[in-house]
Amino acid sequence: MFHLTPETQGVYKATLAAVILVVGLLAVRLPFGMRLDAARANRDQQQRLVEDLLEVQAMMDVARVYRERLTEADDVVVWQEYVQRQLELAGGRLLEFVPGVPISSGNFKILDLEIRATGDYSQLADFVDRLERSEHLIRIDDLGVMVESGWLTLTAKVRILTGTSVLDLLDEEEVEA
């Protein structure tokens, strides 16, 4: 056998401790570290999936609210009668009705209707309120009020969203899931 001096013995012990430490770290860190990294990546992926599902759920909840107000009827004559009826209920009078070109997007259609109506301020305000708060998806754009021949005249673009909700295309079990 060979004989170690106290000085060499200290270096030998330190080197042996370093080798054992490195081997131990590699033996433990590599397999467990790789599994830990894979588990973290899986957790992050699952967390993103949960966030996506929560977003879809929120969109479905909004769609359910709007689905109740979505009408499939896209006949301009039906909507002209509806707008005119709301105006008459408010006490106003329709002067002009010009249907625009319908815009289709997926299973939805947007009907643009240009209208001119007359009445006093409270009648025209009631008419606008009736359309905005109706049970249908109606928006009023380009609203203007002016005085013509001593009468208040309202001009507006009435936009009506019609169509079938994506929810209607799914089975109830799919929606609930």
Q: Which structural domain, as residue segments, surrounds residue 114?
A: 76-167
What stretches in the chain show pLDDT beneath 50?
A: 175
Residues 37 and 10 in one domain: yes
Helix axes 121-132, 76-90, angle to 10 degrees: 140
Residue pLDDT, tens place only, 132-161: 888 888 889 889 999 988 889 999 999 888
Note the pLDDT of residue 168: 53
Is residue 60 domain-shared with residue 93, that is, in the same domain?
no
Reported as half-sphere exposure (CB side, CA atoms, 13 A), residue 94 has a value of 16
Check whether residue 48 and residue 84 sit in a common domain: no
State the pLDDT at residue 167: 52
Quote the CA–CA distance of 176 and 156 in Å, as a whole number: 40
Q: Is residue 172 part of a domain?
A: no
Q: Are 83 and 61 in the same domain? A: no
Q: What pLDDT was estimated at residue 94? A: 92
| Pair 80, 159 in one domain | yes
The pLDDT of residue 92:
93
> Is residue 176 assigned to a domain?
no
Q: CA quadruple 49, 50, 53, 58: dihedral positive or negative?
A: negative
Q: Which two tokens stand for residue 132?
A: 């905005």
39 plus 93 within the same structural domain:
no
Domain containing 139 — which CATH number? 3.30.70.60
Measured from the Cβ of residue 158, the count of other Cβ atoms closer than 10 Å reads 24
What pTM did the predictor assign?
A: 0.58
